[in-house]
Structure 1
Amino acid sequence: MLALRPVALTDLPQLQRLARESLVGVTSLPDDTERLRERILDSCASFDKDVQGHGPENYFFVLEDLSTRQLVGCSEILATAGFSEPFYSLRNRHFTSASRELNIEHGVPALSLCHDLSGHTLLRGFHIDAALVRTPFSELLSRARLLFIAAHSQRFAEAVITEIVGFSSDDGRSPFWDAVGKHFFDLPYAEAERLCGLESRTFLAELMPQYPIYVPMLPQAAQDCIGRIHPDGQEAFDILECEGFETNSYVDLFDGGPTLYARTANIRSIARSQTGMAKPGSSIDARGRYLVSNDALKDYRAIVAELDYNAGQTVVLSEDMCAALNVTEGSPIRLIAL
């Protein structure tokens, strides 16, 4: 059985393996021992905090195979993007110029550096082993974060965003970066992303052009990357799109990948999840597959389970399910159908 839980310091060696395997562009998962250690300790402190509003907290989750104790994925929630420093992105909107004398009005798409998205809750750090891609466990890894937000809504903002990794070639080249960012840093795309993960995106963002970049002046290959998803990022996009997230006019600073946005209260797993009480049982006449979580904080757990569930009734769970969720009879749980 696979279960999602908060990260622990003892996970560091395995987490570094996941970082090495993760897609270039997942900058919140740096392949660096000290940075990962800091990220873990920061997450542990966030789960321990008694907070009544969204601040700088960072909630890091891992997906563990309970039979082998191997980590097979990770994902993260940053309670407030841009809390300590601006959260930069590129706003993609039309710039309109007009001439009354010539009776001409013309709109040109332009990219402008901004930090409009600061203050929103940010989903990031999604990575799952290749063998589990397009399985229910991908949904567990992504959507269980939303069940956590539902259980602890006071800790998060009224809107949630996520950046989907943009297109890059098999050899790690990004046409968008080569056309824009590389002129200001003289760094390959992969190295810029690595530095962003080790330090912060702010010091790179502040060296980016402060004036609009007119899209038609970019090479066609770079224009084609604006809002384009890396093939390995498509699943992360699809899961959240089904949750009600939508693309907006913002793209990633470095690779031009799309940004997804949703009002927290409207997200499917938050708005439609059901709560009930656990009841241990010896046999279950399974009629559907569900994401199931407890409503704990630092002892948060979530699994995929085959259940016979009717709204308003206690939820019968097997002994293994109860153990994985760390619940006993009468414990509150939250669930939503897959």
Structure 2
Amino acid sequence: MTFRVRPAHGEDFAAIYEMAKLTGGGFTNLPPDRATLVAKLARSEQSFNRETDEQEGDMYMFVLEDPVEKVVRGTCQVFGQVGVVQPFYSYHLSTLTQASPELGKTFRNQRLSLTTDLEGSSEVGGLFLHPAQRAGGWGGLLARSRYLFMKLHRQRFGDRTLAELRGVMDETGAAPFWDALAGKFFGMSFPEADEFNAVHGTKFIADLMPRSPIYVALLTDEARSVIGQPHPTGRAALRMLEEEGFTYDRYVDIFDGGPTVTAPTDRIRTVRESNEETIAEIGAGGRTKMLVAKGRLKDFRACLASVKRLPKKGICIDEKAAELLEVEVGDTIVAVGR
């Protein structure tokens, strides 16, 4: 099979829904809820069809497909700007140092403060690769294609990009961070709250969540141990984000305590290192493997290609990649080393 990344459309619903059911819960951007996924696809289509190029609260959904076999084996999303319709909440982990001369002791207490610091950022999320396709580098293609889309549509995205990673939970869907903190104020289990958030948004957090800082020492040992830790299945995703230049700056998800990582958009490795190239020849390609992309908005396509550089002419890409990108000799693409 040879895969490419393209914008999702209505006909992809069945495949996306089946993947959503495989996530195992806690995957807010890809809930196994039919109505929510239909609304997401409609919102994505509206975003791709928007003609002006300023940053707005868009959501772009993509799929990883084999166009020959007509199968979809992955999906991901990019958000133009978070916090547009509803506040974007995070906890920020800070340290308060207090000293007592009488006791001769210094105490350093960690606190979690509810914040909207990250509002205005763009976001990458909703990435899920079907278990049958988790070999062959397809996860990297799916993840990095988002940054090439951002490079081709730079004005639609902010100066900072974030990614939220799912936190730690057990086989039943229970999350120790939620049980020790937010669950005390919402009267619902983590799976119930996560589903409600995926469908209705985060306004209920502002309605019920305490505004004062939470001292970490008051949480259970189990809850403290998972703050800023990704779900075991998300460790590979975290490594890919770190390779792109994302860093953890002590922001965590208010539901499960998972880490939120950020990067200056123009410093994301794939954005920074990708360049425009002219296709001078379509043939056997070469030994160099590159991630290549072409197309504006709903015509966007990305795939892996075998590339050979032709001095003073451009590049030669293999015939299959040209077919997947739907390009011809003379077209301009963006390319970055694999």
Question: TM (normalized to structure 2)?
Answer: 0.95
Matched-pair identity in %: 33
Partner of 1:302: 302
Cα deviation per residue 1:109-141 (whole Å; 9 max; x = unaligned)? 000111111110011111001133254110111
Q: Structure 1's 134 and 231: CA in aligned 2 closer, same or farther, altered over 3 A?
A: farther
Distance across 2 between alignment mates of 1:95 and 1:152 = 42
Distance across 1 between alignment mates of 2:271 and 2:253 = 26
Partner of 1:183: 184
Matches within 5 A, 1:108-147: 108-133=109-134, 135-147=136-148
Matched, 1:289 2:286: no
Where in structure 1 are there 5+ consecutive unaligned residues?
A: none
Partner of 1:266: 267
Matches within 5 A, 1:63-78: 63-78=64-79
Distance across 1 between alignment mates of 2:124 and 2:307 = 28
Partner of 1:337: 337
Distance across 1 between alignment mates of 2:27 and 2:54 = 27
Asked if structure 2 preserves the Cα contact closer than 8 Å seen for 1:280 and 1:319, the reply is no
The aligned amino acid for 2:284 is S
Give the SS at the match of 1:298. Answer: helix
Give the SS at the match of 2:85. Answer: coil
Asked if structure 2 preserves the Cα contact closer than 8 Å seen for 1:289 and 1:306, the reply is yes
Partner of 1:12: 13
Cα deviation per residue 1:172-205 (whole Å; 9 max; x = unaligned)? 1211111112111222212211111111123235
Asked if structure 1 preserves the Cα contact closer than 8 Å seen for 2:282 and 2:329, the reply is no
Q: Structure 1's 21 and 234: CA in aligned 2 closer, same or farther, altered over 3 A?
A: same
The aligned amino acid for 1:12 is F
Distance across 2 between alignment mates of 1:43 and 1:319 = 30
Matched, 1:317 2:303: no
Asked if structure 2 preserves the Cα contact closer than 8 Å seen for 1:87 and 1:202, the reply is no
Partner of 2:244: 243
Cα deviation per residue 1:65-119 (whole Å; 9 max; x = unaligned)? 2222111011001100101111001111012334566665432100011111111
Distance across 2 between alignment mates of 1:311 and 1:240 = 33
Shift of 1:280: 4.4
Asked if structure 1 preserves the Cα contact closer than 8 Å seen for 2:25 and 2:31, the reply is no
Distance across 1 between alignment mates of 2:171 and 2:306 = 38
Give the SS at the match of 2:51. Answer: coil
- Please provide the CA RMSD for this pair: 1.7
Distance across 1 between alignment mates of 2:135 and 2:94 = 34
Shift of 1:288: 2.0
Asked if structure 1 preserves the Cα contact closer than 8 Å seen for 2:87 and 2:202, the reply is no
Cα deviation per residue 1:235-273 (whole Å; 9 max; x = unaligned)? 211111000110012100111001111001111101111
Partner of 2:90: 89
Q: How many residue pairs are counted as aligned between the two chains?
A: 337
Asked if structure 2 preserves the Cα contact closer than 8 Å seen for 1:89 and 1:115, the reply is yes
Q: Structure 1's 323 and 93: CA in aligned 2 closer, same or farther, altered over 3 A?
A: same
Distance across 1 between alignment mates of 2:271 and 2:102 = 54
Asked if structure 2 preserves the Cα contact closer than 8 Å seen for 1:295 and 1:334, the reply is no
Question: TM (normalized to structure 1)?
Answer: 0.95
Distance across 1 between alignment mates of 2:192 and 2:136 = 31
